[in-house]
């Protein structure tokens, strides 16, 4: 279900007034992307499910503060990022040991199926270290700047860049079979040449 | 110049190469292909983000917490009933407001009074107020509207306090309490309406009239109850 902008405002107003059907409509419209963001940031599906529940509680709590200055999805994503990063800090305090995945490649059916492709990329992203994963998702997927990421994560802008480049390099290894696809490669190489 | 390392190649997918790097890349097929692969990877990552269809969260599992925190109060059916109850209550406010206004115009005009002085007015005070019918500007009209609302509230409170008709035989504590409960419900209904349409003068006047009647009822109630007991309620 997709909520169009005018209906979105009405639905949000109803939700602020406690209308359960409006709250459900908002959740239904935005949960797939908000929850996907949470999963990418958290990595572990079980932990992400718990965090996603907390994220939605936080979004509904904050609804009265939404003033329509930005798109609702953008506003909700910001809350999701903040809440998830807070949750990750708590999770890391309780589990200091990070699991390092040794395998360098993922076995994937390269059949062009977009869902499979998305799943493959998600799995690869989940193999990144938590810090690198957060920076990669926030910068390359969500479009945050390094300055914004630095503020969110309490690191320097240079640290954010360093984490990002490491994340990309690791993803390049994990997804070599996808990134080395032959047909678009020549086209992209032409892009590289034209931008030098 | 030797080949660029992997992190630098990753950076160059959206960063500007130095002149030395640029010179190398133009002559190195391997590095050019590698940068292209990084860019392709980034595009795939962005494109893949909208493809996660099934939510991790569960709305039905959220509901108990939402209800516990007061973020949602009742299922849709119950809320619909409550909405209709509110509308009926709002209609009653309008009717009662009209009755008060009718009583005012049927007997005599009362002067505009500063807030809180309504009860001090002696019955029989001659009418001195001229109600304007034309306005110079919207601001002018808004000022008159504001003054009228204040006057309306004062008058409603005064009439409710002086009105012997409300001292029916059998008007005891319970009767006043019942009236207060109803007035509170009417206030809640009009307050809800004003929240959704704060600029609506009809709802505004209905709210003020009810508030005036409530204040007067509290004064009447206080005459039949010990002060301490009233404060507790």
Instruction: From chain B, pick out residues whose CB is under 8 angstroms from the CB of A24.
Output: 59
Per-residue pLDDT of chain A (196 residues; tens, 9 = 90+): 445 455 578 888 889 888 999 999 999 999 988 998 898 888 888 899 999 999 999 999 999 888 888 889 889 988 999 999 888 887 766 654 444 433 444 444 443 456 677 778 888 888 899 899 999 989 988 889 999 999 888 899 999 999 999 999 999 898 888 777 544 444 455 555 555 5
**A44 Cβ neighbours under 8 A, 6+ residues apart:** A126
Which ipTM score applies to this complex?
Answer: 0.71
In angstroms, the CA A177 to CA A112 distance is 12
Interface check B28 vs A, CB under 8 A: no
Q: Do B53 and A45 touch (CB under 8 A)?
A: no
- The C-alpha atoms of residue A174 and residue A177 are separated, in whole angstroms, by 8
Question: What integer best gives the mean pLDDT of chain B?
Answer: 69
Instruction: Express each pLDDT in B7-27 by its tens digit.
Output: 888 898 888 889 988 889 899
Q: Is A171 on the interface with B (CB under 8 A)?
A: yes
Q: B173-186 burial by CB neighbour count: b if 16+ within 10 A, else e?
A: eeebeebbebbebb
pLDDT at B139 over 60: yes
**A116 contacts chain B (CB < 8 A):** no
Q: Which of A47, A49, A55 is nearest to A27 (CA)?
A: A55
The more confident residue out of A177 and B169 is A177
For A1-95, the fitting CATH number among 3.40.50.12780, 1.10.3720.10, 1.10.1740.10, 2.40.30.260 is 1.10.1740.10
Asked if A179 lies within 8 A of B63 by C-beta distance, the reply is no
> Which of B127, B174, B130, B125 shows the shortest CA–CA distance to B148?
B130
DSSP string, B68-132: HTTS--B-HHHHHHHHHHHHHHHHHHHHHHHHHHHHHHHH-PPPP--TT-GGGPPTTPPP-PPPP
pLDDT > 80? residue B116: no
Q: Scanning every residue of chain A, which has its alpha carbon at the shortest distance from the alpha carbon of B28?
A: A193
Q: Give the three-class secondary structure for A19.
A: strand
pLDDT beyond 70 at B114:
no
Domain with CATH 1.10.10.10 in chain A: 111-181
Per the confidence metrics, is the pTM higher than 0.95? no
Q: Does A113 touch chain B (CB under 8 A)?
A: no
pLDDT of residue B166: 47
Q: What is the pLDDT of residues B56-93, one digit of tens each?
A: 899 999 999 998 888 886 554 444 444 444 554 555 55
The tokens for A82 are 């903040």
A91 to chain B, any CB pair closer than 8 A? The answer is: no
The ranges assigned to domains in chain B are: 6-51, 91-232
CATH 1.10.10.10 fits A111-181, yes or no: yes
- Whether residue B8 and residue A141 make contact (CB cut-off 8 A), yes or no, is no
pLDDT for residue B55 is more than 60: yes
The continuous run of DSSP H or E covering A13 comes out as: helix A5-16
What is the distance between the alpha carbons of residues B230 and B213, in angstroms, rounded to a whole number?
17
Whole-angstrom Cα distance, residue A79 to residue A84? 8
CA–CA separation, A106 and A174 (whole Å): 6
Q: Residue B36: which of A45, A61, A189 has the nearest Cβ?
A: A189
Give tens-digit pLDDT for B206-220. Answer: 877 787 777 777 777
Mutation to test the A interface, candidates B39, B55, B198, most A Cβ within 10 Å: B55
Cα angle for residues A39, B41, A44 (degrees, 5° grid): 20
Question: How far away is chain B from the Cα of A96, in angstroms, using its nearest Cα?
Answer: 25
């Amino acid at each position: 279900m997709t909520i169009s902008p005018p209906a979105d405002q009405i639905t949000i107003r109803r939700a602020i007034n406690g209308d359960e059907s409006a709250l459900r409509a908002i959740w239904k419209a935005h949960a797939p992307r908000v929850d996907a963001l949470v999963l990418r940031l958290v990595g572990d599906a079980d932990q992400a499910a718990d965090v996603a529940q907390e994220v939605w509680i936080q979004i509904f709590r904050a609804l009265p503060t939404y003033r329509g200055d930005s798109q609702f999805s953008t506003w909700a994503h910001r809350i999701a990022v903040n809440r998830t990063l807070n949750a990750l800090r708590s999770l890391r305090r309780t589990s200091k040991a990070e699991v390092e995945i040794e395998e360098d490649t993922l076995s994937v059916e390269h059949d062009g199926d977009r869902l499979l492709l998305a799943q493959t990329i998600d799995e690869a992203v989940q193999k990144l270290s938590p810090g690198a994963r957060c920076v990669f998702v926030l910068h390359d997927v969500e479009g945050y700047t390094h300055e914004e990421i630095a503020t969110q994560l309490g690191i320097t802008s240079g640290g954010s860049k360093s984490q990002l480049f490491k994340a990309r390099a690791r993803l390049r290894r994990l997804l070599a079979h996808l990134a080395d696809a032959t047909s678009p490669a020549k086209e992209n190489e032409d892009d590289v040449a034209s931008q030098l | 110049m030797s080949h660029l390392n992997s992190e630098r190649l990753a950076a160059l997918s959206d960063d500007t190469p130095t002149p030395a790097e640029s010179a190398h890349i133009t002559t190195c097929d391997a590095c050019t292909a590698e940068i292209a692969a990084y860019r392709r990877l980034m595009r795939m990552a962005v494109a893949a983000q909208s493809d996660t269809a099934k939510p991790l969260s569960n709305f039905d599992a959220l509901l108990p917490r939402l209800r516990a925190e007061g973020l949602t109060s009742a299922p849709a059916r119950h809320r619909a009933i409550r909405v209709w109850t509110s509308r009926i209550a709002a209609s009653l406010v309008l009717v009662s407001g009209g009755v008060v206004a009718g009583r005012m115009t049927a007997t005599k005009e009362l002067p505009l009074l500063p807030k809180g002085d309504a009860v001090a007015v002696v019955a029989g005070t001659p009418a001195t107020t001229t109600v304007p019918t034309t306005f110079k500007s919207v601001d002018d009209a808004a000022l008159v509207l504001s003054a009228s609302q204040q006057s309306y509230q004062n008058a409603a409170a005064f009439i409710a306090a002086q009105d012997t008709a409300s001292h029916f035989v059998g008007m005891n504590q319970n009767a006043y309490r019942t009236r207060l409960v109803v007035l509170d419900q009417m206030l809640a209904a009009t307050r809800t309406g004003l929240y959704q349409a704060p600029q609506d003068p009809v709802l505004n006047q209905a709210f003020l009239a009810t508030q005036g009647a409530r204040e007067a009822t509290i004064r009447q109630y206080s005459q039949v109850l010990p002060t301490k007991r009233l404060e507790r309620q």
